[in-house]
Amino acid sequence: MFSIFNKKESLRLGEILQVDMHSHILPGIDDGAPDVETSMRLIDGMIAMGYKKLIATPHIISDIHPNTPETINVSKQLLQAELDRNGYTIPISYAAEYMMDENFLPLIKTGNLLTLKNNILLVETMFLELPPNIEDILFQLQTHGYQPVLAHPERYHYVDRNLVKLNAFLDRKCFLQCNALSFTGYYGKREQDIAFRLLDAGLIDYIGSDVHHDRHLEHLKKFTVSSKVAKQLESLNHNNLELH
Ligand SMILES: [Fe+2]
């Protein structure tokens, strides 16, 4: 349980954040929910945590998850039909989590990218190294009117505890999104440490679940942080709310 302000009172993660802006709940199109049944189970869990709106962000990675606005829309329609059949009213929209690989530059130039809202675009990099052309990618994104949000900077192996490599993103005014589970140590001590350093430095713009499967959900349900951290998360949460 997510504890806040006083020990007798506790709030669930979704009650604080309300909008989840990073999830893999659409069925059958990436490494998230493999089928509609799993999608529904993940959505039930997010509703139980107090979330009021979910934004699905399936991966777009050219060689591994070659999704397009069309494949994502088909998956969303399949899920929405099941939601409607069962009387769910929670709004679920979709964007994507774009891998900044060698195929991303041509995609930017099409101007046909799926955003979280308005021009806000969720992007990720490979875990091991910063893309060699990162400055060009960020320049092109901004030239085309996109505001990039880097997903889970705390998880990249090239980001050390001094956060030096993140300057490539911060210098270009890229927003940062941390995963909620990073604060619990779910991904490891290093990721937890970097997440807290980012939080204390005031560098986090969004918090996402990045929920892929039941195990993530179970850990999210047990989310606990100190009241100090809860206050910090709440104070930056206006960005999540603006996506409603
Ligand atoms: Fe993700």
> SS3 string of 130-158?
CCCCHHHHHHHHHHCCCEEEEECHHHCCC
Q: Containing domain of residue 179, as a range?
A: 13-242
| Residue 31 placed within a domain | yes
Expressed in angstroms and rounded, the spacing between residue 124 Cα and the centre of ligand 1 is 8
Residue 54 domain flag = yes
97 CA from centroid of ligand 1 (Å): 6
Q: What pLDDT was estimated at residue 237?
A: 86
Would you say residue 2 lies in a domain?
Answer: no
What is the 24 CA–ligand 1 centroid distance (Å)?
Answer: 6
Is 225's pLDDT higher than 80? no
**Cα 164 to middle of ligand 1, angstroms:** 23
pLDDT digits (tens, 9 = 90+) for 112-155: 999 999 999 999 999 999 999 999 999 999 999 999 999 999 99
91 falls within a domain: yes
Binning pLDDT at 50, 70 and 90, where does residue 4 land? very low
The reported pTM is 0.94
Residue 1, pLDDT score: 39
The whole-number pLDDT of residue 7 equals: 43
Ligand 1 centroid – CA 130 distance (Å): 17
Q: How confident is the model at residue 244 (pLDDT cuts 50, 70, 90)?
A: confident
What is the mean predicted confidence (pLDDT) over 186-206?
A: 96
Q: What is the bridge-based pairing of β-strands 19-20 and 53-56?
A: parallel
3 within a domain of the structure (yes/no):
no
Residue 10 Cα to ligand 1 midpoint, Å, equals 27
Q: Which is higher by pLDDT, 26 or 2?
A: 26
**106 CA to middle of ligand 1, Å?**
22
| Ligand 1 center from residue 78 Cα (angstroms) | 21
Task: State the CATH number of the domain containing residue 238.
Answer: 3.20.20.140
What are the backbone angles phi and psi of residue 149, rounded to the nearest 5°? -125, 115
Q: Does some domain include residue 7?
A: no
The answer on pLDDT for 63 being more than 50 is: yes
Structural domain total, the chain: 1
**CA–CA dist 191, 212 (Å, integer):** 18
Decide if 1 is inside a domain: no
Q: How close is the Cα of 173 to the center of ligand 1, in Å?
A: 21
How far is it, in rounded angstroms, from Cα 161 to Cα 205?
19
Work out the pLDDT band at 188, boundaries 50, 70, 90. Answer: very high
What percent of the chain has a predicted confidence (pLDDT) above 70? 95
> Per residue in 8-54, pLDDT tens?
446 688 988 999 999 999 999 999 999 999 999 999 999 999 999 99
* The pLDDT value given to residue 234: 84
User: Across the chain, what does the average pLDDT equal?
Assistant: 92
- Cα(56) to centroid(ligand 1), Å: 9
Q: Is the pLDDT of residue 5 over 50?
A: no
Residue pair 76/26 in contact by the 8 Å Cβ criterion: yes
The answer to whether residue 148 sits within a structural domain is yes
